[in-house]
Every structure is written in structure tokens, then in C-alpha cells.
Structure 1
Amino acid sequence: NTLCLRCHGTGEAVNGVKAPVIDMAAHTPCPQSSMGTRCVECHMPESLYMARDPRRDHSFNSPDPLLSVELGIPNACTMCHREKSNEWAAEAVKEYYGVNPKMAQYRERTRAVQHAYEGKEDVLPLLMECFKREEVGAWRATLLDLMDAWAHEPSVQEVAAAAVKDPDPLTRAAAAKVMGRAGNPVVGKLLNDPFRVVRLQAEWALRDSLPPDSPGMRELTAAALHQADQPSGAMKLAQIAISRKDAKTAELWFSKALKWDATSSVVHRDYAVFLASQGRSREAVDQMQKAVRLAPKDANLWYLLGLGQIENNDEPGALESFNEALKIEPAFIRALFNRALLNEKVGRLEQALQDLENCSSLDKGNADIPFTLAVMLYRNGRYREAAAAAAEALRRDSGHVRARQILESASRHGR
């Protein structure tokens, strides 16, 4: 407590920010002689790692049992009062600090982070709103990094491009990562950033276009070589070799990564994608099958396996893989879309149409989904339904030329 109160007892400024003055007698509802008056017990609670390693939390959050009730996250109150419930603790906090305590201002941020980790599709607006009003650079970086799952959304790219001028280097590094995912050329502005962590992210994003002898590629390669005795470094060197169209060197580094970490689904996945790019589709499927065995709850791995099985004319296997992906993630649009195409191919038209209807409901702004539905219906002689689907595609994108062609042709046939 003496250490904490050097600033919080005096209001001393650290890095230009004055510490709020804490009156320990009023700061906590816990009795003054109890463990609850020790700053570390509430703001740095201890957890056991690896069954025997006690460590204190360094996020310095205020315990908020209300979020434990809502989201299932732990809180320091019931870590100490083990016989009490989260509901009891939430009510105690409300009674002592009021209905709008200090920790309430961070609740939306916590919800955004938790829902993003859970993969909830509707969390993006909340992430963006929290990012907009966040004052702490490390948190802005975290929120922007979590937007990576929606990197191809124009609104996310707009946020990332604006973050090029963010005063915090971690936030700029996150911006480089997000822009790189979508091939946004604005990421090039960060190649000369004064912070290496930012430059490395920008260089990684642009590795396919950087000349081999450029300062950026040399720096990126040197950083990867520094980690070359680890699987992560080997994987980076494999990807750099791919960007240079050096398949032999890429395979060498993939082989090392597999030898050093055969239990990593990511290594098997990336090696499979490489093999597929080299036309070695059977080997690619073999690697992807190893990946799904290592991470059977990863929907994207099942989806990628399905694509590989289609390449090898294994339609039953591909359907099974897409089904597994959709069991794990029912709103996985790409898996639904590809299963629809495959279902039509194997003669299961109604299932195919239902999959496309579901895709269209999940992504109400994508004109290509109802267009594909229109083509499928037209191909099967259902012209009135094809015209309706084409009209929906045009409602979403009035300039969709092929949808207009389908609409006109289907209308003539449907008379």
C-alpha cells in the first residue's frame, strides 16, 4: 500500500497524468483490518498458473462483479469471499459505490472484448465505438486488433487508415496488421515509422511487394532469422520465401517448423495452403486432416479441408467437412455458400437453395448471394423464383449487370 499511496495518497503526476487521491478509509467496503484493504488483493488478485505458479494480475482493473454475473469473468470480491455468489458481490458493490460506480465506465469495453473473443458477429459496432472514445493507447491497440476479423469491412479499413497518425505505436502496429489483411495501400505510410514494432507489421503486410534488397525486406528478414531456431521464426521465413516465389526454401522452413512443433494446427494449416498453391492437393488434404485432428473445434480448418477435398473430387468428404464447420459456427457464410454449390452439384437442390437463403439472411448487403441463388434457380428451370432472386440482387446493387440479365431472361421464360 505504501508504494501505491506514493502517488494515490498525494496526487503526484506520472507521465503528465495526476493520480486520483485515494482515501483508504472510504475506498473499500471491507473492514480496515482485513485483506480487502490491501491494494493488491482487489486490483492485482492472485491466480494459480500451471497448477503451482501463483501470479498477480497486472491489468490493475477494479473488480466488477456485475460483469461476472453477465459474462462469467472472475472478480476479486468472490475470489476472496469464496462462500458468496457473484450476485451477492454485485449487490454489495452497488450498495456501497452507488448505481454508477467508477468501474462502470469500462463495462462496454469489457463487453466488446469478451464478445469479440466469443466470435459474436454483431460486436463490430461496439468495438468501433469503444475504440473511438478510448484514451489508453494499449487498449486502442487491443480493440483495433480485435477488428482484424472484420478487416475487409470498409468501415474497419477507414478506422485503421486513420490510426496511422495515432500517437501510440502499438495502435499504429495494430493498424498495419488490419490494413495488411485487406491489402490497403495506406499501410505503406508506416514503413518509415520511428518504432520498429510498427515497421515490422507494415513490412509483413507488404512482404509480397517489397523488393528483396529494400530496407524493409532486409529488416523483416533479419527479424525472422533472429527467431529462426523457433517454429514461429521458421514459419515467417517460409512465408517470406513464398513471397519471393522460392518454393524450395519455403518447403525447407515448413519442414523445420513441422519437426519442431508437430502439434500445432497452424503449422499444418499453412503448410497445406502452400502445398495446394503448388498443385499438390492430395498432400494438402493430408496436412489439413492433421490440422483438424489437432484442433477439431476450429470451424475454419474444417472449411479449408472441405475446399481441398473438392479439389480432389471427394464430394462426400467435402460435405462432411462443411457440415462440421457449420456445427461449430452455424453463421459461417463461406462454408454455407460452398456447401450450397456442392449440394447442387451432387443433386441436392433443395438443400442448396436453403443454404443460399440462409446466406442471404446472414449477409443482407451482399448482392452476389441472391445473384447466385438466381443463377441456380434459373439453371434448374425455376424462372419465377429466379426473377425474384435477381430482383433482390438488384435491390442490393442496382448496377449488378449480370443480375439484370438473369432478371430479363427469367422474366421472358416465366411468362
Structure 2
Amino acid sequence: MSEKTTLKWHGAGLIAAVICLLAPLLYLMRDSYAIKPVVAGELEFTGSESCKSCHRAVYDKWHNSHHDLAMDVAAEETVLGDFSDVTFTDSYSGATSRFFRNGGKFFVETEGVEGTPVTYEITHTFGVYPLQQYLIPFPGGRLQCLNIGWNSRENRWYRLPPYEVEGPDDWLHWTRGGQTWNGMCAECHSTRLEKGYDMATETYDTRWFEIHVGCEACHGPGSRHISWAERPEMARPKAVNYDLAVQLDATDPGNRRQIAVCAPCHSRRYQLGDNLHREGELLDTIVPSLLSEGLYYPDGQIYEEVYVYGSYTQSKMYQHGVRCSDCHDSHSLQRHHEGNELCLQCHRAQTYDTPTHHFHKREHNGEPSEGHLCVKCHMPGRIYMGADYRPDHSLRIPRPDLSEKIGVPNSCSAAACHADKSLDWVNEHYVKWYGSARKPHYGEVFARGRNQIPEAVEELMNTAEDGLLPPIVRATALSLLSTYPHEITSDVFIRALEDGEALIRHSAVRNLAHLDIESRRKLLEPKLYDDVKAVRIEAAALLADVDPESIRPEHRQALARVLEEYRDAMVYNSDFAPQRYNLGNLAAATGKPDDAIRLYREALLIDDRFYQAKINLAFLLNQNGDNPGAAELFSQVLAENPDLPEVAYSFGLLLAEMEQYEQSAFWLGEAADRMPHHSRARYNQALALLKLQQWENGEKALLQALDQEPGNQEYFTTLANLYLNFGLIDRAELLGRRTLAIDPSHNRARELLESLPK
């Protein structure tokens, strides 16, 4: 946008941040999904059957487990649903589907890609309990997840969420990308899966070694181990971990290695490439989600479908070295014990399994009561996929006081417990039993940070640097700090770049996008050599717009190499809008605006709800002189996502450039109201109001901006000139004296007072 514009784009816009899917009527494509062997370099996958002869006991535990039944070919013995020519009417859409068999195969007649009934063959089952889903082949190598599943607990068909789908053009419709097995689900239900997405043709050639989650999904490719085991015992060489690719020693005193094996599937995350099932740092393979709004409540309780890793790594159990296998059998996946016996493996019954601790009876009104169960208080859960109850693995102490303060759930008020009682009643009993003292909780800090309360900045900085808190909590604090003025927070981010935890370094790097180019270069050049892939590629992405000539030759080579790593990771996931958008950001940063515009538009073709692509596309259209096109995109974003004050700010500035000052003042005011620490938004609103000759409102906005940033000489000068232009000498003098009282070194205030008539 022109620098001559009266309202300049002061700090405008969202940073282009790196972010951690007509068919024939009948599909008969089973043969193209046969098992296709995949080789992993010198180590080869051998299949779970090759483990059976030596490890029969654990093989039998694994057989028919949820891992074994994670995916299968649709057949008499694998399909649980009723296909006896039955119908199911979806109460959300009103559409009726028919399930039937023909020639030993399974079919469904249901709403298709054009919104009309189509008959599809079901070729694969997905999962087993408490629900089973069904997969349908589509052109381009896709398998689509039908939005009607079988509730195997209640033996009935039911509609799977999401429920608010706007039609076949919606990304969340079962025929579109949000329900494409290849990218959304496949990597965690099969072993050694290669997604095989081709960005140029937008097709998949997805392959697996085993259709289900087999032994090598956790232990890694087994060829070397089998070669070792097949030798006579006396001839076997000494080998670390029996030549298994992944070390999972039950005597290992730590828990990080085991959790790194489970986390690539049992976490909310995005992948950096195919899972090779090898040992290594977790963030070489995936980038786990932080405790972000929309995924978790402010205190870290589960909200969206986030699986287990993010909640468990908040827990005391994780911090004290407890592993998944301490509660769950690694092969059958069943709990070692039921009820409180599971917890009493570690916790003393005399202390915890007693009414003096839980204050609940085993019977209530003559009926068995679950109030005394540890999990009822410490692992409240939520239902996902319409049928699957999943306990929260953060294993937290109930805090009904936080429900009152920041609106988070508590286990006492859960649906199966005391949902009929008021929060006051719950808190009264809690205080009666446990006293009124409460420890500070990061949930209160995060709630204030999410609302961008100015006073939260110190609390967030302290949280980010508190080594006693879990890494995921500290990394989340850094992400929330990114919305606060960098002059205040910069030292925290700089120190976090050297933290021993990769998740914290990654969060620090990705939240430095707003720095000027030279500051980014100095801080992030060393991160190009970080041992962890996620950290170094994030750094490379933020250095993509740096002039190569300003980088020393050895760093230049590293940047080029790591940018290729970054590009490969984004291309791998380019079947999703965020990664296609990231490739657009990379093109824009490297001086290829036409490519960037194309990639942003492609991202929106994948998912038109992905508003970040609309925002950055709007900026590029503005730079190309298409302000009406940019304004239309901003308007769409705010209509669909009204709680985006940064976008309102950018829209207001664009409207000012277009000399639409009334609308500009409105949107800048909206932004300023929602970003109380953002004085520049209020200042720009004042300029728009002055353009409209709304002098009193403009003065009010200028005073508010100065209250937020008293030392800002630009704000001071604008207000002083307003007073002088209207001959308001008394107000000008009061402004000067008040400013000098706050800042005796304020030169412009002194100059103003000296220039006034004596």
C-alpha cells in the first residue's frame, strides 16, 4: 500500500505465520487397495506373522486388539454393521441411506458428491469398538469415510459428526477432503504407510506394509532383529536391544522414549512426512498442537478431539516418569486392572481409596455409586465421534473454583455426577472437604492471555520461563505472548530459543515472525543447525525473505538446504489447505507473488473456510492494486469469523486507503476495543475520525491511545496540533504539562509548552 496514504499500514496485518479433500454411480475398486510391500532402506518390514513363532504370548494378546482391528478389508468376518437391506434416516440432513449386500459385497445408497443418492461399494472397515466406520473408493486413489457409522456398543446405525455440514461443497462433507482417509486417518491405522499424494495431479498412491497396526508400528522394521534371532544362540552377536529398530526396554527408568512411540498417533498434530517407525526426537516426525483455543479449555482440559498426548504431558504422572504401559498393556491395550486397583499400583489405598479422601460412598440409595472411583474425579471425559467416551489424561485435581473464575468444566458438575446442582453448591462442598486454599493455575493466566488482557503479559512471561511447569504449558505461554508488544517480551523469546525442550524452541521460533528482517536473521540463523527438524525448518521459513547476500556463505547453504526440508514437509501435506497456504507464504517471501496468489487460491479450493489464505491473498491483491478484491476478502473473513480483531484492524486500514473513512473508523474501533494493548489501532481510528471531521470523537480516541502509550511522541504531536488548530491553548498546555509529569524527557511536550503564548 502507498506510503503516501494518510493512514499508513502501521504494523498492519496478520503475519504470514507458518502453521504448527463426479464419480460413477457404482465403485468397484477393491483390487487397487491390495497390500503393497514397502521397504525402509537397509531395514525391511517383515510383518506381524514373522514375530509369532518366538513371541506367541504377546502375539496372542495383540491379535484381535484394537490395533489389530484398526483397519481391514470388508468381509463377512470384519463387517459389524447391519447390511440386510436396512435404511437409516439422518435427523440432521433428512437424507435416507440404504445398506445392503450384493454378491457377498457390501453397499450403501446415500447422498453423493452432487447431493443426490448414489450407490457405493464399501471396501474397508475402520475400527471396531465402540464404533466402526466404512471406507468407499473414489477417483484419484481416495478412500472416503462414510459419515454414517455403526455404533457397536448399541448395535445401530448413527450419524457421525460434524453435524453442521452445508452440503457437498463443504470441505467437511463426507465426499470431500475433511473425510479423506488418505490424509486424515490412514497413517495411524496401518503400518509403514506411504501417503503418496501427488500435488500436481491431486491424486493419491497410498501404500501400506500391513493394513492394520502391527508389531513393527511400535518396534520398527524387524528384518535385522529376525536375522539376529535366526542364528544359533551361541552365534548371535551382542546387539543393543536385540537388534530391534526401536528400543522399548521395560526397565528404562524414563518415559520419553515410549511416549515418543505412541505420540505420533495419539496426539493432535501435523506430520512432517511419512512415519518411518524409527527412534528419534518426536518433532522430527510430527509437530504436536499446543493448548490452543478451540482445542483445549484455558486450563488445558480437553475440548476438541485432541487424543491423549497434549493432556497427558500436562500431568504430574508424566513429569514423574509414568508411562503408557504402566496403565495399559502394550499389546492387548487393555488396562492392567479395573477400578481403583489400577491407581493403587502406585498410590496408597490407606490415603486415597478412602472416604476421608474422596468423600463418596460406594452405594447411594441402595444402588452402586461410582463417586468413589479415582477416574470420576481425576479423569473426566467427553464423547467424540458421537459414541466414543474418552477420559482426559491430564489427571488433574478437580477445581470448581476455576469453573467460577474462567468458565472451565469440573468433574463434580459432570453430566453423570452433580449436573443438577449449582456451582455454588459444588464449591461449598469442596471448601468444606478440602479447605479454601488453592494453588495458582496456569489456566487463569491463559484465560487472560486469550483475551489479550494487558496485565497478563507478566504472568505469561513468568509461565513461559517456569522450569517446573510442563513443556507444553510453557510453549503455549509463548504462543500467547506473541500477541503482546515485542519490546516487552523479546528477552523471553530469545532465551526460549536455547531451551532444552524442542517444543519450546519451536514455539519460540514460530512466534518471532513479526520481527524485522535483520533481527530475525541474527536470532534464527543458528536455528538452521538445530538437531530437531521441526525447529530448523520453522526457522528457515521465517528467513525465506532475507536477502541471501546478507547471509554468510556457509549459512546461505544451510538456509537453502533447510528450506528444501521445509518445502518437502509442506508438499507432503499439500492435500490440506494450511500447508498449501504455507507454500504460498514461501512463494511470497521469495519474491514470487504470482505463485503465491495461485497457491492461496488453491488452498481455498481445498477448503474455503480456511480464512488465513483469504487474509494473505487480500494483502497480495492490495499490493497489486486490486483494493476492491482485497476488501471483499476481508469482508468475507469477518462475516464468517467475527472474533478476529487483527483482521478488523487490517480491513480498517485498507478502507482508509480507499478513502472510505466511515467504515474505516468503525472497523478500527472494533479492533481497538478488542485489542486493549494495541494503541496503534486506536490512533488510526482517531485519524479516520478526524478525516470525517468528527473532532470530539477524534480527540477522545487520541486521548485513549495516549493513555495506552503515554510516551508516544507521534500520538502527542497529532493531539497537540489538533488543539492548536482550534485555538484550544488551555488544552494544549494541560496536555504538555501532563505529559512532562509522566516523562520529564519528552522533548515535544517541552517544545510545545515553550511555544505557547506566555
* TM-score (normalizing by structure 1): 0.85
Aligned to 1:65, which of 380, 383, 400? 400
**8 Å contact from structure 1 (residues 177, 202) kept in 2:** yes
Change (3 A) 1:23 1:289: closer
| Displacement after TM superposition at 1:193 (Å) | 1.4
2:479 match:
145
Paired letter, 2:395: F
| Displacement after TM superposition at 1:349 (Å) | 1.6
User: Mapping of 1:16-415 within 5 angstroms?
Assistant: 23-25=352-354, 26-32=356-362, 34-49=369-384, 51-79=386-414, 80-100=417-437, 104-105=438-439, 107-133=440-466, 134-150=468-484, 152-183=485-516, 184=519, 185-209=522-546, 211=548, 214-326=560-672, 333-390=679-736, 403=748, 407-408=750-751, 411-415=754-758
Change (3 A) 1:194 1:341: same
| Deviations, residues 360-391 of structure 1 (Å, cap 9, x unaligned) | 12334544322332233334444453354355
**8 Å contact from structure 1 (residues 42, 62) kept in 2:** yes
| Deviations, residues 11-38 of structure 1 (Å, cap 9, x unaligned) | 7xxxxxxx99963225422224632333
**8 Å contact from structure 1 (residues 238, 251) kept in 2:** yes
| Deviations, residues 158-185 of structure 1 (Å, cap 9, x unaligned) | 1111112222111111111233333443
Paired letter, 2:545: D
**8 Å contact from structure 1 (residues 65, 89) kept in 2:** yes
**8 Å contact from structure 1 (residues 66, 87) kept in 2:** no
| Displacement after TM superposition at 1:299 (Å) | 2.6
| Displacement after TM superposition at 1:252 (Å) | 0.9
Gaps of 5+ in 1: 12-18
Looking at structure 1, the residues matched to 455 and 385 of structure 2 have their Cα atoms a distance apart, in angstroms, of: 34
2:3 match:
none
**2:625 match: secondary structure:** coil
| Displacement after TM superposition at 1:393 (Å) | 5.1
| More displaced 10-residue stretch of structure 1: 137-146 or 233-242 | 137-146
**1:54 match: secondary structure:** strand
| More displaced 10-residue stretch of structure 1: 346-355 or 356-365 | 356-365
1:15 match:
none
**8 Å contact from structure 1 (residues 8, 22) kept in 2:** no
Change (3 A) 1:250 1:66: same
Change (3 A) 1:272 1:51: same
| Displacement after TM superposition at 1:7 (Å) | 7.4
**8 Å contact from structure 1 (residues 179, 186) kept in 2:** no
Looking at structure 1, the residues matched to 469 and 674 of structure 2 have their Cα atoms a distance apart, in angstroms, of: 36
**8 Å contact from structure 1 (residues 180, 187) kept in 2:** no
Paired letter, 1:60: L
* TM-score (normalizing by structure 2): 0.49
**8 Å contact from structure 1 (residues 144, 175) kept in 2:** yes
**8 Å contact from structure 1 (residues 145, 174) kept in 2:** yes
Paired letter, 1:170: L
| More displaced 10-residue stretch of structure 1: 128-137 or 289-298 | 128-137
Looking at structure 2, the residues matched to 173 and 395 of structure 1 have their Cα atoms a distance apart, in angstroms, of: 43
| Displacement after TM superposition at 1:250 (Å) | 0.6
**8 Å contact from structure 1 (residues 371, 390) kept in 2:** no
**1:111 match: secondary structure:** helix
Change (3 A) 1:84 1:243: same
Change (3 A) 1:8 1:270: farther
| Displacement after TM superposition at 1:413 (Å) | 4.6
Determine what percentage of the aligned residue pairs are the same residue.
23
Cα RMSD, aligned residues only: 2.9
| Deviations, residues 271-324 of structure 1 (Å, cap 9, x unaligned) | 111212233222211211111221233333222222111111222232333344
1:16 match:
none
| Displacement after TM superposition at 1:235 (Å) | 0.8
Looking at structure 1, the residues matched to 643 and 710 of structure 2 have their Cα atoms a distance apart, in angstroms, of: 27
| Deviations, residues 72-91 of structure 1 (Å, cap 9, x unaligned) | 21101111222222222223
Gaps of 5+ in 2: 1-326, 328-336, 364-368, 549-555
| Deviations, residues 89-119 of structure 1 (Å, cap 9, x unaligned) | 223222323333xxx33x3311101121233
Looking at structure 2, the residues matched to 325 and 164 of structure 1 have their Cα atoms a distance apart, in angstroms, of: 31
| More displaced 10-residue stretch of structure 1: 301-310 or 250-259 | 301-310
Paired letter, 1:40: V
Looking at structure 1, the residues matched to 341 and 475 of structure 2 have their Cα atoms a distance apart, in angstroms, of: 29
Looking at structure 2, the residues matched to 157 and 367 of structure 1 have their Cα atoms a distance apart, in angstroms, of: 22
Looking at structure 2, the residues matched to 278 and 395 of structure 1 have their Cα atoms a distance apart, in angstroms, of: 47
Paired letter, 2:722: M
**8 Å contact from structure 2 (residues 380, 392) kept in 1:** yes
Change (3 A) 1:391 1:264: farther
**2:512 match: secondary structure:** helix
| Displacement after TM superposition at 1:245 (Å) | 0.8
Change (3 A) 1:7 1:38: closer
Paired letter, 2:345: G
Looking at structure 1, the residues matched to 341 and 387 of structure 2 have their Cα atoms a distance apart, in angstroms, of: 31
Looking at structure 2, the residues matched to 305 and 149 of structure 1 have their Cα atoms a distance apart, in angstroms, of: 18
Looking at structure 2, the residues matched to 217 and 400 of structure 1 have their Cα atoms a distance apart, in angstroms, of: 46
| Deviations, residues 97-156 of structure 1 (Å, cap 9, x unaligned) | 3333xxx33x33111011212332221122223333343212111112211111x33331
| Displacement after TM superposition at 1:157 (Å) | 1.0
Change (3 A) 1:413 1:68: closer
| Deviations, residues 324-343 of structure 1 (Å, cap 9, x unaligned) | 44565677533321121112
Paired letter, 2:424: E
Looking at structure 1, the residues matched to 342 and 418 of structure 2 have their Cα atoms a distance apart, in angstroms, of: 29
Change (3 A) 1:196 1:361: same
Paired letter, 1:412: S
Aligned residue pairs: how many? 400
**8 Å contact from structure 2 (residues 453, 677) kept in 1:** no
**8 Å contact from structure 2 (residues 379, 393) kept in 1:** yes
Paired letter, 1:295: N
Q: Normalized per residue, which structure has more strand?
A: 2
Looking at structure 1, the residues matched to 510 and 344 of structure 2 have their Cα atoms a distance apart, in angstroms, of: 37
Looking at structure 1, the residues matched to 344 and 568 of structure 2 have their Cα atoms a distance apart, in angstroms, of: 44
**2:595 match: secondary structure:** helix
| Displacement after TM superposition at 1:194 (Å) | 1.1
**8 Å contact from structure 2 (residues 537, 563) kept in 1:** no
Looking at structure 2, the residues matched to 163 and 323 of structure 1 have their Cα atoms a distance apart, in angstroms, of: 34
**1:121 match: secondary structure:** coil
Q: Normalized per residue, which structure has more helix?
A: 1
Paired letter, 1:251: I
